[in-house]
Amino acid sequence: MRIATWNVNSITARLPRLLAWLENSGTDVLCIQETKCAAEQFPADELRELGYESAVNATGRWNGVAVVSKVGLEDVVKGLPGGPEYEGVEEPRALSATCGGVRVWSVYVPNGREPDHAHYAYKLQWFEALKAAVAEDAAGPRPFAVMGDYNVAPTDEDVWDISLFDGATHVTPAERAALAALREAGLNDVRPRALKYDIPFTYWDYRQLGFPKNRGMRIDLVYGNEPFAKSVTDAYVDREERKGKGASDHAPVVVDLDV
């Protein structure tokens, strides 16, 4: 089974590339983040023509997550159980489903903006709720993974120049502690193998030639429980999909499983 996660940064803007990538990549299950559309605008019909069922948690122009699958789509749960609100709104940042015997979550963790911003406190609260929500599945016998844009680089090596991130989000001790708490709950960081570069970055800013200069970050992560991690036969970042006109600023992270 081939499972992937991809922050598409607007599924409407990325639809032709998304459909072509799905058709050519052999992906069975894709976790999508930042759909940036209402649920009724999600391209379920176009995906169905390629053989994919869709589950969507989206409410408008910001955020939004989905899971699309060729191998079944069952037990769908929209939202983060027990998750916090931001400015009185429960944002569409999580969706879980069972696909071909594998339980997956598609998550878009809050950005945090700045360490002294209310959005940063919200981010840490969101992580706490995520840990509680996934604990049972993480400890279970079924392959299980939380996949998506975590908006945290796990280590200093996972950013192109850590000296430029002093006082910035994505690398603070509290955010990294939240990731460590997920690992302590029974989830492993399924790290993609390095291809062109030593560090498999997943995100590059559009500005200042971020991608051509490989000024990237590894913030799109696959956290799997022990049965999931033991089933992994390969994992890589599809850098080719970050190239060219109309690309997302994130690349897909692809994981092959023997299940």
What distance in Å separates the CA atoms of residue 8 and residue 49, rounded to the nearest whole number? Answer: 20
Kindly report the number of other CB atoms within 10 A of residue 72's CB atom: 15
| Residue spans per domain, the chain | 2-257
Q: Residue 195: what pLDDT?
A: 83
Is 0.85 topped by the overall pTM?
yes
Q: List per-block mean pLDDT (blocks of 10 residues) for the chain, which spans 259 residues.
A: 98 98 98 98 98 97 96 98 96 98 98 97 98 96 98 97 95 97 96 89 95 97 98 97 96 97
- Residue 254, classed as helix, strand or coil, is strand
Q: Which amino acid is at 230?
A: K
User: How much is the pLDDT for 196?
Assistant: 82
pLDDT of residue 197: 84
For residue 88, the model assigns a pLDDT of 95
pLDDT at 61: 85
Based on its alpha-carbon atoms, the radius of gyration of the chain, rounded to whole angstroms, reads 17
The torsion angle over the Cα atoms of residues 216, 219, 221 and 223, rounded to 10 degrees, is 140
pLDDT of residue 80: 98
**CATH class (in words) of the domain with range 2-257:** alpha beta
